[in-house]
Amino acid sequence: MKKYSVWIVGCTWAVWVEMIKCIKTLNLPISELHLWASSRSAGKVVQTFMWEITIQEVNNDFFDNLDYALFAVWWENSKQYIPVAIDRWCRCIDNSSAFRYDDNIPLVVPQVNGSTIWDAELIANPNCTTAIAAVILNPIYKKYGIEKIIMSTYQATSWAWAAWMNELEENTKKYFAWEEPKVEAFVENIAFNVIPHIDAFQANWYTKEEMKVVWETHKIFWDDSIDISCTCVRIPTLRAHSESIVLETERDVDIEDIKNILSKAAWVELVDDIENNKYPMPLYASWNYNVQVWRIRKNLVFWNKWIELFISWDQLLRGAALNAVEILEHCINNEK
């Protein structure tokens, strides 16, 4: 069996650690694993499941003789280095928003639209809120169709940097010590608070994070006819996002059938032990590869085609690292 040389670009983000774990869990045929980062991290030695690896400073000269590069960096860095990598015949999987909205670049959740990868030199990883919703929505969309989606998200602090989680922890300590909180990562103090503001506000008063759900869902499903509205909120948890989803289907739905098709979907876990107060929550979704779903019910306000559900998932895994590594797995398995 052929083995592959893989580089992870962006070793100052929380995602890269999870990428390495996912490569091990999926048992991918990797012969070389290398890590790139900025000059601040270059020279550090990290222990991985393969061997100790010295982080190298990323530059244009490192993309020769590579099979794949996984990017977990800001979009500006992806824009700078991905064209260089492609010119050196290195296939790229990008976790940033740099190329998501390019019509010529596949935006992929493997369980939903893996067939769009083909032999693409670059594959974009969706935003975490979109990727997870797609895993749940896809089985429903295939059987019942979807007309409208109303979504509210409850997003943890572990989006990218460990510093974001540290700010929550430190400000929680300051709260109990009656000290002034230090606000750097977020627009307001996140401890004992919720912030209905993630990313920049757009001209329509939705934030970019909310509009990503609209743009990316349309692209992944190849269906611009779905009406979508989303409100994204940052909450004071360390890990795992949640979403409340209300949706209108094209045909009348059977709730028991919805439960049945979701129970059979890949990477979906029904958590429905109401008697013991077990349902999707960050408490159980953290470090879990599955998307947890329950609270599946008919909506009491709208018509018979409207249903509601609640999901939780580890966004560093299913919403970022795991999805990217599954794209890598799909590429490897379908090489000519």
Active site residues: 128, 241
What sections of 270-316 are H helices per DSSP? 282-285
Give the integer Cα–Cα distance in Å for 65 and 231. Answer: 44
Pairing of strands 227-234, 122-124: unpaired
Give the integer Cα–Cα distance in Å for 134 and 126. Answer: 10
Residue 57 identity: E
Say whether 3 sits in a helix, a strand or coil: coil
Tell me the helix, strand and coil percentages in the chain, rounded to 5: 35, 25, 40
- Sequence-distant (6+) residues with CB within 8 A of 116 are 106, 108
Cβ count near 224 (within 10 Å)? 11
- Residue whose entry in the numeric block shows the structure tokens 């997870």: 132
Cβ count near 160 (within 10 Å)? 20
Residue 145 φ then ψ, to 5°: 70, 155
Pairing of strands 306-313, 268-270: unpaired
Give the integer Cα–Cα distance in Å for 19 and 12. Answer: 13
Q: What tokens does 37 get?
A: 């980062």
Strands (E), 120-279: 122-124, 146-155, 227-234, 241-249, 268-270
Q: What is the DSSP letter of 145?
A: -
Is residue 23 within 8 A of residue 30, CB to CB? The reply is yes
Segment (H or E) for 91 = strand 91-94
